[in-house]
Amino acid sequence: MTGELSPIDKAKFVAARRAVDFVEDGMRVGLGTGSTAAWMVRCLGELVRDEGLRIKGVPTSTRTAQLAREVGIDVVSLDEAKWLDLTIDGADEFDADLCLIKGGGGALLQEKIVATASDQMIVIADVAKEVGQLGGFPLPVEVIPFGWQTTKALIEETLVSVDVLGRDTSLRMNRDAPFVTDEGNYIVDLHLHRIGNPRQLALILNQIPGVVENGLFIDICDIVVIGHGDGRVEVRDINQGTVEEERIDLLENDNLFADM
C-alpha cells in the first residue's frame, strides 16, 4: 500500500507518524483539520487501538470529529477539556519563524481557538509548505454572512495601506453557493502573493467590523515536523532552537495502511 502513495502523501504520513510521538497517555490533544492532520488522527487511532493509549481528543471541525470517533479516539469538546496539553495540526504555509497561514480547509476559527488553548502547538507539514515569506497561499479571512460584501470592501480598502504584493479578494464558493464554515460563516480569500508584515496584517484585519478571524497564526506554533517523500523527517523546535533529523520506515504491512 505504501508503494502506491505519492511522494507528497508519504511526506505527510511520516510527519504525522513522527508527531504522535509527542502524545503521552492521559493527554488532552487538539486534533487539527486537513489532509495531513487526517494522517495524524489515524496514527493516534492506531495507538489507541493497539497500544492502549488513553487520550481526550478535541477536534477542530466536524469532519475531524467524525474521523476521530471512527478510529476510536475519545472525543470531547473544548469546554469539557478546558485546556489542552498540545495541539497537532497542519498548515498551508510556514516560514522560518514558524508563522503560519492556515484555513485552506475552512476550519481556521476552531483551529486557532484550540491551538491557543494548548500548552504547545505542533505543526505537521510536507516540505513544500515551507516558504521564505508568507503569502503565496491565499490568506483566508472568516466573515459573518450579514453584510459580507461590505466587509469584503473594507478588507480591500485596508489592503491598500499594508505591505502586500497583491490585493485581489474572492468569496470562497462551494459549487454555486458560498462556502459555509462549521460556525455558519463565510470565507474571503485574500490573494496577496507576499505578506511583508504578517503580525501587523493579522492585527489590522481583526479590527474590521464583520471579520471574525484570519488565517495568520503568529507566535502560536512551537514545533514543526517536516516530512519528505523519501521518509526523512525534520523536527524544528523554535523555543529550544533545535533541529533534529531522522527517517521513518514505511512498512508495507503497516496496520494503518491495511485499515485503509
Catalytic machinery residues: 111
Task: Report the residue count for the chain.
Answer: 260
Q: Grid coordinates standing for 237?
A: 523546535
Q: Grid coordinates standing for 146?
A: 450579514
86: left (phi over 0), alpha (psi -120 to 50) or beta: beta
Q: Grid coordinates standing for 21?
A: 510521538
Q: Give the closest residue to 124 by CA, choosing from 79, 83, 89.
A: 89
Distance CA 201, CA 1 (A): 43
Q: Grid coordinates standing for 209?
A: 467590523
Per 3-state DSSP, what percentage of the chain is helix, strand, and coil (rounded to 5)?
Answer: 35, 25, 40
Distance CA 131, CA 26 (A): 35
- What's the angle, vertex CA 66, arms to CA 53 and CA 2, rounded to 5? 70
Q: Which ranges of 20-81 does DSSP label H, i.e. alpha helix?
A: 35-51, 62-70, 78-81
Distance CA 131, CA 135 (A): 9
